Amino acid sequence: MSRRSSNTKSPTKPKNKKNTDSLSSSSPKEKLYDCSKCRSNVKDEDDGLMCEMCFAWFHRKCANISEAKYRVLSQSDGTEDGILWFCKECVNAQRSGHQVVAQKLDSVLGLIQELREELATVKKQKEILEENFDSRVKNIISEEREKERRKDSVVFYNIEDSHSSEEECAEKDKDILNSIIGPLKEGANVDNSCVSIMRLGTKKDSSKPRPLKVAFKDGSGLKRKVLKSKEEGKWEKKFSNIKVSPDRTQLEREEYRTLVKELIQRKENGEKDIIIRNNKIVSINSVPLPDRNGQKRSGQ
């Protein structure tokens, strides 16, 4: 609905100044304002209304406005607080626009909710990643410390585990170790080259001897010499059943067991001449072998 000063006044004095500017001054007055419904002129003596949105004129009857309503519109004071009148087409368009806006608003609100849920998921994943990262960093640091602690140690297997007292067993272990490391480095013996010697595990009445862990002094180079001499077959024949390996961490032992299982599986599948070297399964032909002078040569 509109103000009395605009939408119910004579069509020859419209509020929509743009309409008059766009028409030639020589145009007849009666053609300036046609009823948007019946297309005939809205004359001065007719009850006419102007839509405040599209500025189109209508006969009262064409706009389906009762006389009572028209009188109310005619009595509007013309101020900004007056009654505004809109034609049916503009009202429907406005309603349709409101529906579109409402639908888009619902869509936006739905999208916002989805984004909130995704953000919550991302935050949760971030927390999990940070927790896992912290845990992995701690594990890596712990693993590296263990490797550093074990870097000069080896573990001997199948060295007879005497059933006598611990003191007598320790003396026998020293004798065997002196026989192994003595030839590897001039003047080397357990007393001047080892930090500690200990049997791993609890002593049991079993035919299987406990592993013997030996920690050499830092910088002695004996760990590498012991492992290398065993690999090259330089130990005395009486020690041929003794095995030796690096002092591996728990993680390294698990990885090595997995590697051994793979080696066994591959051999069962028909692969031949493969061994484990440097934590890898390789062909024997790719491993350098010692010649008579102790120098390494390529396998045949």
What confidence tier does 288 reach under pLDDT thresholds 50, 70, 90? low
Stated length of the chain:
300
Confidence of residue 32 (pLDDT cuts 50, 70, 90): low
Residue 20 has a pLDDT of 35
| pLDDT score of 285 more than 50 | yes
**CATH superfamily entry for domain 1-86:** Zinc/RING finger domain, C3HC4 (zinc finger) (3.30.40.10)
Show me where the domains of the chain are located: 1-86, 89-150, 151-247, 248-300
The 10s digit of each residue's pLDDT in 158-206 is 988 876 777 888 888 899 999 999 898 888 888 888 889 999 888 776 6
Q: Give strand pairing partners of 194.
A: 216
| SS3 per-residue string spanning 196-263 | EEEECCCCCCCCCCCCEEEEECCCCCHHHHHHHHHHCCCCCHHHCCCEEEECCCHHHHHHHHHHHHHH
To the question of domain 151-247 being in CATH 3.30.70.1820, the answer is yes
What is the pTM (predicted TM-score) of this model?
Answer: 0.53
